[in-house]
Structure 1
Amino acid sequence: MEDNNRRKFIKNVGIGAAAIGTAGLAGVLSSCKGQKQEEQAVKEEPKAKTIEWKMVTTWPPHSPMLGEGADKLAEWIEQMSGGRLKIKVYGGGELVPPLGVFDAVSQGTAEMGHGVAYYWAGKVPAAQFFAAVPFGFNAQNLNAWLYAGDGLKLWEEIYEKFNVKPFPAGNTGAQMGGWFNKKINSMADLKGLKMRIPGLGGKVLAKAGGNAVLVAGGEIYTNLDRGVIDATEWVGPFHDLQMGFYKAAKYYYYPGWHECGSALETIINKDAWNALPDDLKAIVETATYKANIWMISNFEAKNNAALRELIDVHKVQLMEFPESVLKEFKKLSLEVLEEIAESDPMSRKVYDSFLEFQKNIYEWNKIAEEPYQKLKHL
């Protein structure tokens, strides 16, 4: 009897073990099958679509800092997007004329552009306020108005009807007053002067009796060297040294009353922008922030060394505008700004915002910034 029970027990254990083994094997096979299906699904998952854009610029191809800023912006966007958004950069004249950038982006010939808003003043008068205002904001003030005030919202509003979306994408910081082939001792020396100077500064020069000429960056030196123009402003020592202006003009004036902190912009065709997924939109916007801080930082770091080279090596005569000339420039600047505001409702809206923000931030600057500047001279 005990033998029979023992044999039944062994038989039952064997059957149970076999059942467990079969179930285990089935589980393993099922698991393997599921893993293979997952791997197959991964293999069959379509790759993210690569979007290819063109960026046209107002700058000579790959020019230091300015064209370089456009190149870097495109590079950063591609890196951050993992190659999903690739942008080919064209310097001024390579795809469209330097001053044809706004129209090219507006019409969709290129999805993206890089330049300065005052170049489109003839088409969009209010755009000038987002580039440089004579005796206006420095780079820090301008960024505050754009990012923390109403500036960028207004900028987007004035470009809306042109199917264009703007972003700040760089800043030159305070510029120099320009290169002249004669000394400027009084306002009389500006009468009939042909000077390459864009934007609101050009309108002030015209009001002073000079002739403001708009010339793209790549053409300035030749025009100055051949006497087509008598004077030019460009940016500051770093760039002016690269451009070789010291070979064509004798006197280098400061301060840059007309451009105290000039913003660069990148503009995007609205249809192309709206077609982007949200994550790529965020990447583009983030890259413009990086471009903005990269450019002003490099200008601040490099301008003084270039200025020393211009003076010590190339014997440039550094000159300061007489106080009487600067006072008259300021008076004429206020007249020009008011005239523009009165002639265009959108310019009025933008200028009023500018003035309100300027009053607020200048009161703070008097307490924080101006005393600090004096401390540095103790």
Structure 2
Amino acid sequence: MDRRSFIRTGAIGGAGAAASALAAPAYAQGNRTLTMVTSVPDGFAVFDDAAVYLANAITEMTDGQITIDKRPAGSLVGAFEVFDAVSSGQADMYHSADYYFINQHPGYAYFTAVPFGGTAQEVMNWYMHDGGRDLHDELGQIFGIKSFLAGNTGMQPGGWFNKEINSAEDLQGLKFRMPGLGGQALGLTGASVQNVPGGEIYQALSSGAIDGAEWIGPFADERLGLQEVCEFYYTSGFHEPGSALSAAMNLDVWESLTPAQQAIVEQASVATHSWNLAQSYANNGAALDRLQQGGTKLMTFPDDVWEAFGTASSQALDDYMDDELYAQIRESFEASMRKSSRWQTVAEDAYRQQRDRILGM
């Protein structure tokens, strides 16, 4: 039995006929409706905004031939169950962050973010021009899905804490929400890492179930209300320097689309990425000012904490190198990042330092 046959029949126990019924696209006068499950509730700034933009773009660009029925986390499947739902055919497509699915394959981390990884621009350089998209497809073939980058939050902060982090020792036993390989690295520093869905972060912080959490950035974090339950905001993090969001479609559904419809889905995903990244950066500065004016204390990690993050990140990334495809993805990603970083450092970074000095920014 091949992998795609297995996941259709056995990946989610009990899905059976109900999954088949959900997976079958709805037709009306030549049109069809595809069910898209997501990993956050409706209205979550940046993350859900990308899902809404993508759904609307596909519908508008196909002139209504394809309508996307967006189902938020918990309405059809849980936040972290969307991958299995699409792989098995329970849903037609998902919008999520692929590093939630490193238990399926650790290579998926690179299609969201890895610790000390690429900025948003560097991620897209790799994805569009240095082999990343082909590797995303290669992973998808294993699980019967077709994937696209469809959003980017940009640089993510170090997160919200209920106490100051003055040294690496303060990480010991800290109950902190952080997913992906960044979370695995943080666990290696002695923290107790929790993988809490976005829709449950506020409650977990307010109840004391966790001591701190990272989310997306000032604009999204303010909308979530994290400033109400934590005092200290570390504004630069090691774990997600340019976090991509992804859309993925069940491969049988993808192959049932016309070539024109497939091209539209791909271009709608590219447009979503650009729009979403600009949305995040356009709003983060003003949101950060509001947070600070409201009493949030903006913090930076001391050097010894950064060193601890670096040591732990190297170990976390190395732990999967015995997987051939993971190793191929990592080597491809890092080669592209080194190539991109050279020009950015000597040109853009130097320019911004001088611009900010001269204009007093």
Q: TM-score, normalised on structure 2?
A: 0.89
Amino acid at match of 2:350: P
Amino acid at match of 2:142: K
Aligned equivalents of 1:303 and 1:370: distance in 2? 20
Does the Cα contact within 8 Å between 1:62 and 1:71 map onto a contact in 2? Answer: no
**2:212 is the counterpart of 1:231:** yes
**2:62 is the counterpart of 1:76:** no
CA offsets 1:201-233 (integer angstroms, 9 cap, x no match): 101111000111101111000000010001100
> Which residue of 344, 355, 359 corresponds with 1:376?
355
What is aligned with 1:240?
A: 221
Could you tell me how far 1:127 is from its partner in structure 2? Answer: 0.4
Could you tell me how far 1:155 is from its partner in structure 2? Answer: 1.1
Aligned equivalents of 2:352 and 2:49: distance in 1? 31
What is aligned with 1:285?
A: 266
> Any idea what SS the aligned residue of 2:350 has?
helix
CA offsets 1:129-172 (integer angstroms, 9 cap, x no match): 11101111000010000001111111110121100111000000
Q: Unaligned regions of 5+ residues in structure 1, if any?
A: 1-46
> Any idea what SS the aligned residue of 1:376 has?
helix
What is aligned with 1:142?
A: 123
Could you tell me how far 1:52 is from its partner in structure 2? Answer: 1.2
**2:115 is the counterpart of 1:164:** no
CA offsets 1:252-272 (integer angstroms, 9 cap, x no match): 012121110000000000000
> Any idea what SS the aligned residue of 2:64 has?
coil
What is aligned with 1:340?
A: 320
What is aligned with 2:332?
A: 353
What is aligned with 1:206?
A: 187
**2:157 is the counterpart of 1:176:** yes
> Any idea what SS the aligned residue of 1:318 has?
strand
**2:104 is the counterpart of 1:126:** no
Amino acid at match of 1:286: Q
Structure 2 counterparts to residues 1-378 of structure 1, below 5 A = 49-312=30-293, 314-342=294-322, 344-378=323-357
> Any idea what SS the aligned residue of 1:293 has?
helix
Aligned equivalents of 1:328 and 1:64: distance in 2? 31
Does the Cα contact within 8 Å between 1:55 and 1:90 map onto a contact in 2? Answer: yes
Could you tell me how far 1:306 is from its partner in structure 2? Answer: 0.5
Does the Cα contact within 8 Å between 2:44 and 2:223 map onto a contact in 1? Answer: no
Amino acid at match of 1:322: P
Does the Cα contact within 8 Å between 1:173 and 1:261 map onto a contact in 2? Answer: yes
Aligned equivalents of 1:153 and 1:318: distance in 2? 40
Does the Cα contact within 8 Å between 1:62 and 1:91 map onto a contact in 2? Answer: no
Aligned equivalents of 2:244 and 2:78: distance in 1? 21
Aligned equivalents of 1:102 and 1:173: distance in 2? 23
Amino acid at match of 2:334: L
Aligned equivalents of 1:269 and 1:190: distance in 2? 40
Could you tell me how far 1:328 is from its partner in structure 2? Answer: 2.1
Aligned equivalents of 2:338 and 2:289: distance in 1? 35
What is aligned with 2:20?
A: none
Does the Cα contact within 8 Å between 2:40 and 2:199 map onto a contact in 1? Answer: yes
Aligned equivalents of 1:185 and 1:162: distance in 2? 44
Aligned equivalents of 2:113 and 2:142: distance in 1? 22
Aligned equivalents of 1:370 and 1:241: distance in 2? 28
Aligned equivalents of 1:341 and 1:361: distance in 2? 23
Could you tell me how far 1:48 is from its partner in structure 2? Answer: 6.4
Amino acid at match of 2:209: V
Aligned equivalents of 1:163 and 1:62: distance in 2? 29
Amino acid at match of 1:357: S
Aligned equivalents of 2:29 and 2:339: distance in 1? 47
Instruction: Flag the structure with larger Rg.
Output: 1
Structure with the bigger RCO (C-alpha within 8 Å, sep 6+) is: 2
Does the Cα contact within 8 Å between 2:44 and 2:224 map onto a contact in 1? Answer: no
CA offsets 1:295-342 (integer angstroms, 9 cap, x no match): 000001000101110111x20011111122112211221221112223
> Any idea what SS the aligned residue of 2:230 has?
coil
Aligned equivalents of 2:87 and 2:187: distance in 1? 30
Q: Unaligned regions of 5+ residues in structure 2, if any?
A: 1-27
Aligned equivalents of 2:271 and 2:344: distance in 1? 25
Does the Cα contact within 8 Å between 1:48 and 1:84 map onto a contact in 2? Answer: no
Q: TM-score, normalised on structure 1?
A: 0.85
Aligned residues: 330
Does the Cα contact within 8 Å between 1:181 and 1:230 map onto a contact in 2? Answer: yes
Aligned equivalents of 2:316 and 2:351: distance in 1? 32
